[in-house]
Amino acid sequence: MSNQPRQKQYKSENGKEYTFQHPGVLNWVRNKDKMREKDGKPNEENLQKYVMENVIVQPKVSWDYWDEHLEDYEEVMQEATTFLRGLKLK
């Protein structure tokens, strides 16, 4: 088994390239509860913050980045979250 991080290159519809890196299943599982409200519903802000810090590794993104690249925000966050969950990307 390889020790190389699992990565995926993704090109947005606008042509910007992003690199996704899976943080590892154990890391993801340990952090999932931090992304839920007390009633168990997902906390979108916490999930997206986790994705920005742990999944989208190139370019480094933040809320300020998305303010400048709003055209890619929803598409890239959805694809990065899909990648994190081990589902098939488009």
| Structure confidence by residue, pLDDT tens digits, 30-86 | 898 888 888 989 899 999 999 999 999 999 999 999 999 999 999 999 999 999 998
Question: Does 1 reside within a domain?
Answer: no
Question: Does 20 reside within a domain?
Answer: yes
Cα distances from 76 to residues 13, 45, 55, 83, 85, in angstroms, run: 9, 15, 11, 10, 14
Model confidence at 5: pLDDT above 70: no
Question: Does 19 reside within a domain?
Answer: yes
Give the domain extent around 11: 7-84
Number of domains within the chain = 1
| Predicted structure pTM score | 0.86
Question: Does 89 reside within a domain?
Answer: no
Question: Does 40 reside within a domain?
Answer: yes
